[in-house]
Amino acid sequence: MERYKTFKEFYPYYISEHENKYTKLLHFIGTSVGIFFLIIFLISFEFIYLLFALISGYAFAWIGHFFIEKNKPATFKYPFYSFIGDHKMFIEILQGKHKIF
């Protein structure tokens, strides 16, 4: 098993685990909902919204991995890099670098 020492080394692997555009779409939806709940948390300081942010982000992503890509989420081996990778991919989708439609 290869261990990535930097995020720069990790990110190409992360993207390779998201080949299907519908997996990317589910990640995009989950991250969007997660950001929404994070904003609600920052406004209200009700910690339940922080929990909702984490659950929604991971739930959508894991559905994509288990049922579309049929692989294990990178989160299981690389939780921190995966979290960063998801948000980087989210920004790249907004920039048009990844097609989801």
Looking at residue 33, its pLDDT comes to: 98
Q: Copy the structure tokens of residue 47.
A: 């910690």
Q: Is the pLDDT of residue 26 over 60?
A: yes
Cα 8 to Cα 25: distance, rounded to the nearest angstrom: 23
Domain that includes residue 81, residue range: 22-94
Please check whether residue 55 lies inside any domain of the structure: yes
Q: Copy the structure tokens of residue 100.
A: 């989801």
Please check whether residue 4 lies inside any domain of the structure: no
Please check whether residue 15 lies inside any domain of the structure: no
pTM equals: 0.92
Q: In the chain, how many domains are there?
A: 1
The mean per-residue pLDDT over the stretch 20-43 comes to 98
The mean per-residue pLDDT over the stretch 44-61 comes to 97
Looking at residue 27, its pLDDT comes to: 97
Q: Is the pLDDT of residue 4 over 70?
A: yes
Looking at residue 2, its pLDDT comes to: 75
Please check whether residue 5 lies inside any domain of the structure: no
Amino acid at 84: I
Please check whether residue 6 lies inside any domain of the structure: no
